[in-house]
Amino acid sequence: MTLLARINKLKNTVLHAQNLDEAWMEFFDLTVHPDFMKQSVPCQLENLHFILDQIGKSVMPGGAGKLRAAPIVRCKGTDFYHGALEAGDKPGAFIYFDDAGVGMAAFVAYGAKTELCRFTATLVNSPHCFVPAADGSPATH
């Protein structure tokens, strides 16, 4: 199966899986594809940083601490992004499909527990949309 076909299959699994373990294992299977790392290049996706920060806050006790993320990587020619994360003392990773606005994050807790979450993102571009300020920065409209 080609790399693009595997990425599309993974996207479908992330969108529809009842058991997120299936999607995460499929991601691991994708990472051993010979072209996976060759096609992965560092990039920036501003909205993704915000999403990952919110996920990091939700997995840290009391929302305290800071999420650290390695550079975001994108598979060339696709809207598939991935990378490593750390929330407090929990190492993890994320995957995100920008065209579908869906992704997953996984954090490893001590012991045999892995915390998985699926998230969706919708870009709202409207003068009637209000996003509350965070960290003392001005609110955006």
Whole-model pTM: value is 0.82
Query: Quick one: pLDDT at residue 131?
Result: 55
Query: Quick one: pLDDT at residue 8?
Result: 96
The beta-strand segments (E) located in the chain are 40-42, 67-69, 73-75, 80-87, 90-97, 102-108, 114-120
Query: Quick one: pLDDT at residue 137?
Result: 46
Query: Quick one: pLDDT at residue 126?
Result: 65
Query: From the DSSP assignment, how many helices (H) and strands (E) are in the chain?
Result: 4, 7
Query: Quick one: pLDDT at residue 60?
Result: 74
Query: Quick one: pLDDT at residue 65?
Result: 63
Q: How many residues does the chain have?
A: 141
Query: Quick one: pLDDT at residue 123?
Result: 66
H/E run at residue 5: helix 3-16
Q: Can you state the angle between helices 20-31 and 3-16, rounded to 10 degrees?
A: 170
Task: Collect contacts of 8-11 with beta carbons under 8 A, ≥24 apart.
Answer: 10/80, 10/95, 11/80, 11/97, 11/100, 11/102
Tens place of pLDDT per residue across the chain (141 aa): 899 999 999 999 999 999 999 999 999 999 999 899 999 999 988 788 888 888 887 877 766 667 777 789 999 999 999 999 888 778 899 999 999 999 999 988 777 788 898 988 876 666 666 555 555 444 443
Which of 74, 113, 78 has its CA nearest to residue 94?
74
Determine the longest span between alpha carbons in the chain, in angstroms.
49
